Amino acid sequence: MRQFILSCFLLLGMLVQAQSPFFRVRETILNDNLLIAHQLVDSSIEKGYQKDSAIYYKGLIHLKTMEIKAARKSYATLIKNYPGFYQAHYLNALIYFLDNNFGRSIDEFNLVLAKNPNDTKALYNRSVAFGMLELNKEAINDLTACIAIEPINSLFYYSRAYWFEITLKYDEAIKDYEQCLELDTKNYDAYLGLAYIYENKKDPVKACAIISKAIAAGSQIAEDLKENFCK
């Protein structure tokens, strides 16, 4: 379960809203074309073109390949040479998270949010860090804030549903899983979350129905688990 949460964190950590000159860098990072990504940011750094952003993205590339020491160097360079570039703290928050220092990670996200309270990347990832410390109420609060800012983002509903489920608030979790699926019918994990909740609520008919919907939507995992829910 912990590995699943970490994977979600890393995914959104890379979904950074790029300035337009770095749109291609963002896309290459997301598509694992890391050699091209390195070449693009190194070229920008060499030419002095928006160097702060280029160093920032270089740090994200290092995180993608789990080169934590190299990412720290990018952060140190940003803080030394561009102290007003507050997204450096976002990079550092990810570094601390990957080092399992969730408290310090939260501190760094707090610095980002002090500058931009509506930064949903920071809010979302801080919620994951809170969750890793079992501060589930705080995690839910951050996701509620994310939803208020971006009410059509299915991932926020899915994640809040997950924490509601963890805290046994099944009715709230069901609502969020269902809203997630209204926005994204291919979120197979949301189907599974619903199925497990109905199983825990001793409602095997609904659990089986949800699994059947997941299979119809294309989930191979649901197909593999069908016998566990539909007996």
Measure the N-to-C terminal CA separation of the chain; round to a whole number of Å: 26
CA 49, CA 26: separation in Å to the nearest integer?
Answer: 16
What pLDDT sits at residue 12?
Answer: 42
What pLDDT sits at residue 31?
Answer: 53
Answer yes or no: are the C-beta atoms of 24 and 30 closer than 8 Å. Answer: no
What pLDDT sits at residue 3?
Answer: 39
What pLDDT sits at residue 63?
Answer: 83
* Other residues' Cβ atoms within 10 Å of the Cβ of residue 159: 26
What pLDDT sits at residue 45?
Answer: 58
Mean pLDDT by 10 residues, the chain (231 residues): 42 44 55 55 58 81 84 93 91 92 96 95 93 94 96 94 95 97 93 94 94 92 89 81
What pLDDT sits at residue 2?
Answer: 35
What pLDDT sits at residue 32?
Answer: 57
What pLDDT sits at residue 64?
Answer: 79
CA 112, CA 104: separation in Å to the nearest integer?
Answer: 13
| pTM check: above 0.85 | no
Let me know if domain 153-231 sits in CATH 1.10.730.10.
Answer: no
Of 171, 180, 183, 185, the C-alpha closest to 222 is 185
